[in-house]
Amino acid sequence: MPHPLLYLVVFIEGYCSLGAEIIALRRLVPHMGSAIVVTAPTIGLFLLALALGYASGARVADRFQTVVARNFLIAALLTGFGFARFTVDGLFSVLSPSWLAYLVLMCGVLCPLAWLLGQTVPVLTNLMKHSRSGEASGYALYWSTLGSFAGSVSLSLLVMQWLGVSASVLACTTLLAAGSLLLGGPRKPAVWSAMGVTVVAWVIHLVPSQPVLDTAYADYQVKPLHLAGQHQPRGFMVNNSLASLLDDSSPPQYARYVQRMRRILLDELRLSGADILVLGAGGFTLSHQEMSNRYTYVDIDPAIRTLAEQHFLKQPIAGTFVVDDARRFVRNTEQRHAAVVVDVFSNHSSIPSHLVTAEFWSDTRRALEPNGHLLINLILDSQLASPYARNVLGTIESVYGRCATEVLQRHQALANVIVICPASGQPSGTRIYTDERNGADLDKLVQ
């Protein structure tokens, strides 16, 4: 084969191998979140399989083009079918606990795919007959790494952003099938196999079983619900979790935690004509039909507004929408707000880890007026007894001092927990009252 053609195949390998890793991480978000404890093992397993693929490719002694053509075709099958939404969702719905489904996805799809593609560079360098070994391997690695760079940038910043995750899967599947054709030549079996895999993958991904919008950040869906006492209720689903609720009653009914937050803002804090910052757009229901205050929503995904307006609210949002990371926004904004509402989740109970630290809560204080209030929606165990519940609440109070905590569904294992912190609060030490040293009466006098 001519060297430029070999380099093109190696470029495709680099593009699709890293592309598969990015797709896998994105497909895991609705089911396991995007915490470092999920992403780090995924990257580690991918690299391990890639390293084993390098070693396996070094042992191939003949039929070089045929071996890589076969690997590309199998990799196209694994990509097109293994990363289809119904495959991943099906794994996590059938297998429990979630780590078992995770291991099946890793060991059954991502790792075999990485192992197959890892063989490409050591095998194809055998075809570069007129090059020094260092020159052959150097240029092969150059084009493979260049493909990895192109795949990571184009898939995450362009394809997923504008066309969705399924389009990224199709792009990698099609490229791998094309690479198999380049290596297999015009033989009929090779042509029909590559075309068959590609066509079936396109049919699977372009005819979804349910209307879902997937972007680089989340899967979105608006689903009709059946709830007693509500008129045509619908749910705004984010990563397979109910993020917001709305019906066609007059006045409309919302999710319980949204209704509670609205009462706090309007009835208890008595805000009117105030600026309210909402971190995490959800379904934009906090300001729905609420015209007495000015709302600014901040969300990292630009696609969420169009979906909410067209299919959930069925009207324009009430307020301003800013596309930005929540932490970056509160760190850089110069505007001060009467209330900051934090409602950020990557799936049902997982908050992005950079939005639970003391540094983040300190940044939220910067966005508050001196007499403003921070409102936080958390999903915690209803007894507030887990290490996560104790630690996240303790982290908040290490910045704001004592905060009010309200558990909304005490009969459930996991519940919405509303935390209300005044911007004027300060963390302080506590004294334990004992029979020997009891300062309770003195403390009351000081109040």
What does the pLDDT look like over 252-279, one tens digit per residue?
999 999 999 999 999 999 999 999 999 9
Radius of gyration of the chain (CA): 27
Exposure of 97 by Cβ count < 10 A (0-12 exposed, 13-18 middle, 19+ buried)? exposed
| Among the ranges given (33-37, 95-99, 244-248), the one the predictor scored with the smallest mean pLDDT | 33-37
- The confidence score (pLDDT) of residue 447 equals 45
Please write the tens of the pLDDT for every residue from 130-140.
667 777 788 88
**Pairing of the two strands 294-299 and 320-323:** parallel
Domain boundaries along the sequence of the chain: 3-214, 219-371+387-395
Exposure of 54 by Cβ count < 10 A (0-12 exposed, 13-18 middle, 19+ buried)? middle
| Among the ranges given (284-298, 349-363, 380-394), the one the predictor scored with the smallest mean pLDDT | 349-363
Of 271, 289, 278, 258, the residue nearest 374 (C-alpha)? 278
* Mean of all residue pLDDT scores within the chain: 87
Q: Please name the fold of domain 219-371+387-395.
A: Rossmann fold (3.40.50)
H or E element in which residue 234 lies: strand 234-238
Amino acid found at 58: A
Q: pTM of the entire structure? A: 0.79
Sheet holding 241-246, edge to edge: 213-214, 219-224, 234-238, 241-246
Integer Cα distance of 379 and 400 in angstroms = 20
| Among the ranges given (10-14, 59-63, 127-131), the one the predictor scored with the smallest mean pLDDT | 127-131
Q: Please name the fold of domain 3-214.
A: Growth Hormone; Chain: A; (1.20.1250)
Integer Cα distance of 106 and 112 in angstroms = 8
Q: Which residues pair with 339 in a beta bridge?
A: 276, 373
